[in-house]
Structure 1
């Protein structure tokens, strides 16, 4: 599955702005180009590869150390932390960047379930999930959210949820979360597809950031029609 050239241009615009570059920096660069953005006051160091273009952002000392290193090296989870060890570099994320520009095929769960936009149910869902999963998704803090619920009992039970926040007025940054007891039933793909449809109806381009070691999230993204077109790693500095 390929993304439309117009979609690609809009994604490049959004990420150029997010990285502090000129609007046409990514779209105007040749394939294989690496842009070094000196940000001496930045509290982080990051490497982004998107549609064949690369951007390394950080203080001058980090840029000197990154020169000559391959994209594969800089994309590894511990690579940037190793470059910034004496500056307290701590890995924040290492993830695939995935996007969609067409409505996903229907993904219906085995049972007929309702969908709620109640933020309280998102909080309740988070209480059913491991803390690391909750922190990674941040579902209850998203601008829009959709929760699959089981209403067959007296108490409504949240099973899975997806939501998004708007980035740069263009992208819908989508996350999903499924309670451990209800995983591997297609609920994550189902509710993520709902979030994709709703964000596209709002005129946004869906984006899904998949941690490199999260096989379940990768399956969810693929099942909801996302295409992996880039990678991003980031570390925070303590000094």
Structure 2
């Protein structure tokens, strides 16, 4: 795998910022001791990163979760039961992959890559709406779209993009036209985006729903290292809760 644990403090720092945790709470926290941090956000989030774990959300839910261990909080169904009176709506459980270096594989043939926004609408029109929403290319600033080479009828085959997270991580997302899936096109696009992110001085982060086998195959095929998971549940606004 291609992640040196010496880079883990950078990942911890990004998540501390993203979850609004006290500085160094993840890095300095004792192994195996769960960090709980009350927030006013309308989300309950459980994060596991290597030997650390964090639960953030409304204080009453943190109190209710005290009797649950980390394996239970990693379970989406458990989180939904915990938030039943808060109108909990599941956002899923995702595995977290990282890389601070990746081997460069040159394609056998010339590849045409566009960094424009124009091909994205055409690519998304070819894909199921759920895939489009899950990847969220519109939220990712740096896009790399593999195009067919025929002119003037060049069209998009796949796009991988990244957006900066807390100025430290490059969150990757990849969308492939259904006709070109399982042909290595998505892996090639993801490799291009990942190397561009690494060249920009960022650590690559890839999130995959635990039930999305192709996404896991893509991550491991590229050499990304699994580091943990994130389980999230959105909550109703406070005034609409039944507590």
* 3-state SS of paired residue (1:165): strand
Are 1:26 and 2:26 counterparts? yes
* 3-state SS of paired residue (1:78): helix
Please name the residue that 2:241 is paired with: none
- The answer (yes or no) to whether the contact 1:17–1:168 under 8 Å persists in 2 is yes
Please, which of 138, 150, 153 is the counterpart of residue 152 of structure 1?
A: 150
Unaligned stretches of 5+ residues in structure 2? 238-243
* 3-state SS of paired residue (1:27): helix
> Hey, what's the Cα distance between the residues in 1 that align with 2:104 and 2:76?
33
> Hey, what's the Cα distance between the residues in 2 that align with 1:211 and 1:222?
14
Are 1:57 and 2:86 counterparts? no
The 5-angstrom pairing of residues 169-184 of structure 1 reads 169-184=167-182
Are 1:44 and 2:67 counterparts? no
How big is the shift at 1:105?
4.0
How big is the shift at 1:238?
1.1
User: How many corresponding residue pairs?
Assistant: 237
Q: Which moved further from structure 2: 42-51 or 60-69?
A: 60-69
Please name the residue that 2:134 is paired with: 136
How high is the TM-score relative to the length of structure 1? 0.94
How big is the shift at 1:5?
3.2
- 1:25-45 superposed Cα distances (whole Å, 9 cap, x missing partner): 111112212001112x22110
- 1:36-77 superposed Cα distances (whole Å, 9 cap, x missing partner): 1112x2211010000111100111211122112122211122
> Hey, what's the Cα distance between the residues in 2 that align with 1:64 and 1:149?
52
* 3-state SS of paired residue (1:161): strand
* 3-state SS of paired residue (1:10): helix
The 5-angstrom pairing of residues 67-82 of structure 1 reads 67-82=66-81
> Hey, what's the Cα distance between the residues in 1 that align with 2:2 and 2:208?
18
Please name the residue that 1:216 is paired with: 214
Unaligned stretches of 5+ residues in structure 1? none
C-alpha RMSD over aligned residues: 1.5
- 1:141-171 superposed Cα distances (whole Å, 9 cap, x missing partner): 3110000110225321111110011111111
How high is the TM-score relative to the length of structure 2? 0.93
The 5-angstrom pairing of residues 87-106 of structure 1 reads 87-106=86-105
> Hey, what's the Cα distance between the residues in 1 that align with 2:169 and 2:208?
15
